[in-house]
Amino acid sequence: MKKLSYLTCMLLCSVMPSVAQPQILVMPTGGKPMPNRWIDATTHHLIVKLSRREGSNSSFYFHNYPFIQTPDGKGWEMIYYGSTSQGNQLFAVNLQTFQNRQITYLPFRFGGEIVAPKSKTAYVQSRDSVFKIHLGNGKAELVYVFPKDFHGHIASVNCNETLLAGVWSDEREAEILRRYPSKSSFFNRIFEAHIPHVLFTIDLQTKQLHKIDSEDTWLNHEQFSPTDPDLLLYAHEGPWDQVDRTWVINVKTGEKKLLHQRSIPHEINGHEWWAPDGKSVWFDLQIPRSVNFYIAGVPIKNENGHIETGKEIRYPITRDEWSIHFNLSPDQTMFCGDGGDSTQVAHARDGMWIYLFRKQGDTLSAEKLVDMRFQNYRALEPNVHFSPDGKWVIFRANFEGKNEVYAVSIQRYL
């Protein structure tokens, strides 16, 4: 290990006064306990540990927005899960001071990664009950109880925070999950069973449940548009080369549209997400599977209740640059990716990195941000997010031997 020069330390302090201090170590990432901040010896990017608490800690899934503004409106907090003696609870970390605080102290198990940033609340579910969590004080408010014959699962809140969306499936899916808990065991079984699924919304004002679409196939990955309260993105789940996967539906009119049509055998797309301005949807595209790799997007308009799509955009990437999940920066000039190991679909030889991709015309310029050689991808996928200011990539990792949450600066310091 080596220490930064005095000049470099002063540069860090001037750029990031809340983070940088003299004596920041330049060291390999992972394989041992890490300090709260260090410079990755391979990539020369600053990494900060966000989850500075005991226990196992996990940031949200890549397409679930986790940020709220601080009370003074000048900074941001990120919501995440941390383990406690009472099970997983919601925590917040201040992205300027890195102070962590526990939000919930609920005595029952719950789940849900649904943050409503305008009201600074979150929605979670425990069995048949949906609760609104006030993120400032942790107060839990019961807002909905599912009927006994319709036990759905919430997944998203719309941008004006009036509707929740989710999926219901009949009891056969729960039975498959109970009998075959590992993904490798339940994935094809649920797909092949052609179990009825229903997309629904819950009106948070009237408490009315509305069934908006139903199919005898596996539906999931529900995501409301970040700017249009009526548009819901969702996926047909299953083996990606056997499904027309990525769809958007207008929850008021019921109109729905497939966003990518497969053109050759074994073509796949998936892990879709909205652009920050709600004007496009992006996804991992492979034509065919495991051969040619793209980050692809489809422009979307929803005018007068009618959905229109534009010409698909494709950015080619290399096999080693493929990532399990991608994301798009707030200003939409950069993508990030969480990499992957050699056992996954790209079969990359050198793919275990957190990546940054800068747009350069019709291509992307890739940069490695974090060396992930000690990451167990099968146990924990990093699920990258950009910070609200676009200066950091936030991810979860187990390269220290337990699950923690980190941020890496997109600026290179050495």
Domain-embedded: residue 378: yes
Q: Give the per-residue pLDDT at 414.
A: 73
Domain-embedded: residue 5: no
Q: Give the per-residue pLDDT at 238.
A: 96
Peptide bond into 226 cis (omega under 30): no
Q: Give the per-residue pLDDT at 9.
A: 46
Residue 26 has, within 13 A of its CA and on its CB side, a CA count of 14
7/13 Cα distance (integer angstroms): 10
Q: Give the per-residue pLDDT at 19.
A: 45
219/167 Cα distance (integer angstroms): 7
CB atoms within 10 A of CB 263: 8
What helix, strand, coil percent values describe the chain, rounded to 5? Answer: 10, 45, 50
- What average pLDDT values come out for the chain (414 residues) when binned by 10 residues? 43 44 86 98 98 97 98 96 97 98 98 97 98 98 96 97 97 94 93 97 98 96 98 97 97 97 97 98 98 98 93 98 98 98 97 98 97 98 98 98 98 87
Calculate helix-pair angle for 183-193, 171-179, nearest 10 degrees: 150
Domain-embedded: residue 313: no
Domain-embedded: residue 376: yes
Domain-embedded: residue 316: no
What is the number of domains present in the chain?
A: 1
- Which pTM value belongs to this model? 0.93
Domain-embedded: residue 349: yes
Place of tokens 């079984």: 189
Which two three-digit tokens encode residue 115? 């943050």
Identify which of 316, 324, 283 has the alpha carbon closest to the alpha carbon of residue 300: 283
Q: Give the per-residue pLDDT at 305.
A: 80
Q: Give the per-residue pLDDT at 22.
A: 54
Domain range for 395: 37-62+325-413
Domain-embedded: residue 383: yes
Strand-pairing partners, residue 90, are: 81
Q: Cβ distance 130 to 79 under 8 Å?
A: no
Domain-embedded: residue 312: no
